[in-house]
Amino acid sequence: MNARIHFAKILASAALALAFASAGPASAVDVTFDVQPQLLNLGETATATLTFHGVRSAPGIEFPQIPGLQITGTGQQMQFGTGGSRVSLTYNLFPQKPGTHTIGPYELDFNGEKIQIPAVSLEVRAPAGNANAATQEMIFARVTLPENPPTIHQVFDIVLGLYFLPGMELARDINLLGGFPESGFVISSFEELQMVREEVGGQFYNLRRFRARARALTAGSFTLQPTLRVGVVDPNQRQQRRDPFGFFDPFGGPAATPVNVAVPPTALTIRPIPEDGRPADFGGAVGQFEFAVDVRPRELKVGEPLTVSLRLQGTGNIASALPPSYRDTESYKTYEARQVGDTPDAAADGGAKSFEQVVIPRAESLQELPALQFSFYDPAAAQYRTVSAGPFPLVVHPSENGANSLMLQIPGGTSGGGNSLVLGSDIIYLKSAPARWRNGAGLSANPPLLLGLHAAAPLALAGLFFATRRRNRLATDIALARRQKAPRSARANLHKAEAALRESAAPAAVFAPLAAAAADYFGHRLNLPPGAVEAPLILAKLRAAQTDEAALAKWQEFFALSDQIRYASAADLPREALAAWIATLTSLLRKAERIRL
């Protein structure tokens, strides 16, 4: 209790000095106290940090005497920036006997305000006996996975932990030597977290942790067994380095011996997305999402475009999630929604995506755009959720040209009468009457030619009519135009794969155009935006179209092998196997042409 009062007096005098030294108001200053590590073996030291926030200077403060614990000040550090200023005082804590040593709690009187500093306890363990010490590992590694098995497409953390005795010194760089599935996963780079201390088997260990974000592309059971290559530093041995004059440098840095540390095999189960309760509009989004829609302008004329802004944000597989969009009706014409802004990374655990879609009213009777619904699977709640936006009221006025004048109209739509002007690249202009008419005396002298011209005219007009109608339909019906483009784009990529096979026969060089052939084909065939073509969606469409099981199995095998080559190391495939895959994909695409997706 006397120690607590003594420290409170010291902090009170420090607060008086800080009141004059601080640049900001007193309410902006607080004090924090931290000790790391809080688990020690006897003979080790800890570091205490007393930080004053919102000040530019701080006086030296001496801690009261605590039996069995020596506290020595080591200096102070000042930091200034846009986030404010702070001064940190550091101390070395050296325990002289095992047990629990408690520092604090303390009360700081700062400008009349009582600031509480909580107590911090040090756990000091006595040295283990020889029999117990002989059974303890000096260094080992573990992998930590989520407690609940993640669902396919759910983003989850993989944490690699490297445990080593406090007396050991490790090199800074740690290398990962594989051990993760070569296909079926998207895994980000590992980032190192703050080092902590953990008790294992009655012994304290320093713990270096490395975390990566992962997302499974397929369901099933997998085994993780990574290996870490670590440099163990021996301070008693110096690297034999020569100085510029050719002599050995006796002050060279400590040598590091590379050691491979294997992680025990760890089972990882990826759950499939449940079938029960799946909404009809579910597109494979897994996570927690918000969906917003904005429509502008709300008042317009028939034939004028409006813009629908679609925004999807949240946590989960945001990179592959797609918001809903409007489809053609008798009241309005729609165009394909296009993504605007950045595209999240495939392994991102959250973010936002924005799309824009153009909608053109066909009739003044259109009073609103209906509501849009977005469905996703929430793995935390283990259930499907649906969010909606709309409906959006509209005021559509008639075209100002009138019923007997030219009016903007989409081909195939109904008109209120009068002539029509095609909205697109083909614009038909009415021409004025000629100044005078010529007689046909020149042609009457050649009756056969005249009859032939009369017979050819209807055929030419019919051909022109059908060609113009087809061209107008392709210009306005984006889905139809992309459907007809699908086989051509697939054949072009298949030719590239054959050329790559003749030149290098490298699996990566051959499978890159093969994967592009499948992605381009189904992207055009299903009228999907770039980046939305994923194996689960394609397999679901093929399965719904009653594709035979043998073809489905081949498609699954192809997508798995493509993922392996794209996200992991390339498979060692001979030239014959690569040629067989080119032929297999060609056959699968031909079968897909004969089914209705």
Amino acid at 471: R
* Confidence (pLDDT) at 565: 72
pLDDT digits (tens, 9 = 90+) for 511-547: 888 988 888 888 888 887 544 567 788 888 898 888 8
Place of tokens 């163990």: 232
Alpha carbon distance 290, 292 (integer Å): 7
* Confidence (pLDDT) at 22: 41
**Which regions of 372-471 does DSSP assign to beta strands (E)?**
372-378, 383-389, 392-393, 395-397, 408-409, 421-422
The pLDDT-based confidence of 9 (bands split at 50, 70, 90) is very low
Radius of gyration, alpha carbons of the chain: 37
Q: Mean pLDDT across the stretch 544-551?
A: 88
Burial annotation 251-285 (CB, 10 A radius, 16+ → b, else e): eeeeebeeeebebeebebebbebeeeeeeeebbbb
Q: Mean pLDDT across the stretch 97-101?
A: 85
Alpha carbon distance 529, 338 (integer Å): 7
The pLDDT-based confidence of 431 (bands split at 50, 70, 90) is very low
> Looking at per-residue confidence, does 530 or 348 come out higher?
348
Q: Which of 90-94, 160-164, 344-348, 572-576 has the highest mean pLDDT?
A: 160-164
The answer on pLDDT for 585 being more than 80 is yes
Contact predicate 327/335, CB 8 Å: no
- Of 456, 493, 460, nearest to 586 (Cα)? 493
The pLDDT-based confidence of 474 (bands split at 50, 70, 90) is low
Q: Could you tell me the pTM of the whole model?
A: 0.47
* Confidence (pLDDT) at 146: 92
Contact predicate 164/139, CB 8 Å: yes
- Confirm whether 131-270 and 287-397 share one CATH topology: yes
* Confidence (pLDDT) at 254: 60
Give the DSSP H or E segment for 583.
Answer: helix 575-593
Residues linked to residue 91 through DSSP beta bridges, in sequence order: 48, 73
* Confidence (pLDDT) at 18: 41
> Looking at per-residue confidence, does 8 or 563 come out higher?
563
Alpha carbon distance 204, 198 (integer Å): 6
Report the residue count for the chain.
597
* Confidence (pLDDT) at 446: 62
Alpha carbon distance 311, 388 (integer Å): 12
Kindly indicate whether the domain formed by 131-270 is annotated with CATH number 1.20.1070: no
> Looking at per-residue confidence, does 240 or 273 come out higher?
273
Q: Which of 116-120, 334-338, 413-417, 445-449 has the highest mean pLDDT?
A: 334-338
The answer on pLDDT for 27 being more than 80 is no
* Confidence (pLDDT) at 84: 74
* Confidence (pLDDT) at 483: 78
The pLDDT-based confidence of 570 (bands split at 50, 70, 90) is low
Three-state SS at 536: helix
Beta strand pairing status for 395-397 and 299-301? parallel
Alpha carbon distance 111, 107 (integer Å): 13
Question: The tokens of 32 are what?
Answer: 């924090």
Contact predicate 284/321, CB 8 Å: yes
Classified by CATH at the fold level, domain 2-125 comes out as Immunoglobulin-like (2.60.40)
Question: What mean pLDDT is reported for the chain?
Answer: 77
* Confidence (pLDDT) at 112: 66
The answer on pLDDT for 432 being more than 50 is no
The answer on pLDDT for 268 being more than 90 is yes
The pLDDT-based confidence of 165 (bands split at 50, 70, 90) is confident
Residues 6 or more apart whose CB falls under 8 angstroms from that of 32 comprise 49, 50, 51, 53, 117
For the chain, the structural domain boundaries read 2-125, 131-270, 287-397, 478-593
Of 131-140, 184-193, 324-333, 373-382, where does mean pLDDT reach its minimum?
131-140
* Confidence (pLDDT) at 375: 94
* Confidence (pLDDT) at 395: 94
Share of the chain above pLDDT 90, in %: 22
* Confidence (pLDDT) at 127: 65
The phi and psi torsions of 234 (rounded to 5 degrees) equal: -105, 105
The answer on pLDDT for 569 being more than 60 is no
Residues linked to residue 125 through DSSP beta bridges, in sequence order: 41
* Confidence (pLDDT) at 154: 86
> Looking at per-residue confidence, does 53 or 299 come out higher?
299
User: DSSP assignment of 138-174, as one string?
Assistant: SEEEEEE--SSPPBTT-EEEEEEEEEE-TT-EEEEEE
* Confidence (pLDDT) at 227: 92
Alpha carbon distance 199, 450 (integer Å): 105
Question: The tokens of 145 are what?
Answer: 């996975």
Q: Mean pLDDT across the stretch 449-473?
A: 66
The pLDDT-based confidence of 404 (bands split at 50, 70, 90) is very low
The answer on pLDDT for 584 being more than 90 is yes
User: Is 214 exposed, middle or buried, given 0-12, 13-18 or 19+ CB atoms closer than 10 A?
Assistant: buried
The answer on pLDDT for 26 being more than 60 is no
- Of 367, 373, 209, 202, nearest to 281 (Cα)? 373
* Confidence (pLDDT) at 137: 74
User: Is 48 exposed, middle or buried, given 0-12, 13-18 or 19+ CB atoms closer than 10 A?
Assistant: buried
pLDDT digits (tens, 9 = 90+) for 351-372: 888 999 999 898 889 999 999 9
> Looking at per-residue confidence, does 533 or 210 come out higher?
210
* Confidence (pLDDT) at 3: 40
The pLDDT-based confidence of 239 (bands split at 50, 70, 90) is very low
CATH class of 287-397: mainly beta
> Looking at per-residue confidence, does 511 or 28 come out higher?
511
Share of the chain above pLDDT 70, in %: 72
The answer on pLDDT for 428 being more than 60 is no
- Of 394, 391, 408, nearest to 364 (Cα)? 394
> Looking at per-residue confidence, does 165 or 142 come out higher?
142
The answer on pLDDT for 142 being more than 90 is yes
The pLDDT-based confidence of 453 (bands split at 50, 70, 90) is low
